[in-house]
Copies of this chain bind each other. A is one copy, B any other.
Amino acid sequence: MPPTILDIALHAGTSKSTVSRYLNGGSVGKDTAAAIERAIEELGYAPNVNARRLVSHKSHTIGVVLDDISDYIYGAMLSGIQAGAHQHGYVCTFFSRRPTEATEASYLDLFKSRQVDGLIFATFRKRNPAEVMLLAQSGQPIVLIGEHSGVLRLPTVDVDNLSGTLEEVTYLIGQGHRRIAYLAGPSGMSASASRLRGYEQAMELAGIASEAALMERLENWTVDAGYQAARKLLARTKFTALAASNSYSAFGAARAMQEAGLSIPGDVAIAAFDDDILCTYTNPPLTTLSQPFSRMGSLAVSQLVEIMRGETEVTSTVYVQPKLILRESTGTLDRLKEA
């Protein structure tokens, strides 16, 4: 029903080929160009992308696989991916694993069916090494966001979980804290291990003996898990600071402290990984490591585009640095200025 390139050709008194050439920036005569332009305008023509995709063997689409699109931590990242894709002339389609629980490898079919030219896995759950292997062996343009433990390396964008946590805990130590509790991330999440190592290294570097009683593993990264874990810690041992592997658990922990009659940061200082809008509005505002999600998204796209263009052979892992944002949960601003 909508006009085709042939309609334009007829209307402009020329041929399909010439119209196609005009559309793709080839060399066409001055008045033919004008005639074509006019025809396009009058008939309201827009090229059929599906025909283009068929003949070009490209979908100009980037697939983005997520654990759960409703998780709002994705907001900024999706925005970065989307903007980056748009800039490079690609369109995105998102795939949530959540309802289907499909394996990561099953998304390789999207290549076979020519639905996508490249795939970004922005999944934060721990990845199955066998699956990563399959992805790597496929030889398709794939970029991962969030670390993986596969043997074959895949291009990856990740926040530097280890050094970020290291910096944060070192900051706490610098504030004079010695007994620092840690809420480790759930074992199902890929970032948990590195963040924990960051904590351990910071303590070690400061010459503070590690103590198992100070560490509590979260069942998941929710407010409630943080609350429960903090209560266990409080019942078990004493500490003057607490570092949490994400912000939600820190909210829960803060509540547990306050219920126990402890003041923040007077009695216990609190810091967390993951910044989000909440952190500014809690009482007190929470010191956090802010992840540059938007930038991570656009970096992943850039890398993917390079691979799709065949411009690079090396698979690189890009680590972006989280930024330590000091707020009152680790000391009043006055005290910060003194330091």
Contacts and interface: CB of A to CB of B under 8 A. Distances in A.
Contacts of A282: 281-283
A45 B99 contact: no
A45 B281 contact: no
A266 interface: no
Interface string A96-130: 10111000000001011111000000000000000
Interface in A259-312: 277-278, 280-283, 294
Contacts of A93: 61, 91-93
Interface string A54-84: 1000010100000011111011101100110
A51 interface: yes
A238 interface: no
Contacts of A44: 112
Interface residues of A, number: 50
B68 A79 contact: yes
Contacts of A112: 2, 44-46
Contacts of A111: 2
A53 interface: yes
A227 to B, nearest CB: 11
A191 to B, nearest CB: 20
B96 A83 contact: yes
Nearest to A86: B99
A13 interface: no
A49 interface: yes
A230 to B, nearest CB: 14
A46 to B, nearest CB: 4
Contacts of A79: 68-70, 96, 98
A319 interface: no
Nearest to A79: B70
A48 B93 CA distance: 17
A67 to B, nearest CB: 11
A267 to B, nearest CB: 17
A50 interface: yes
Interface in A214-237: 223
Contacts of A188: none
A87 to B, nearest CB: 9
18 contacts: A2-B114, A46-B109, A46-B112, A48-B113, A49-B115, A50-B50, A50-B54, A50-B59, A51-B54, A53-B53, A69-B79, A75-B75, A82-B96, A92-B93, A223-B280, A251-B281, A255-B281, A278-B278
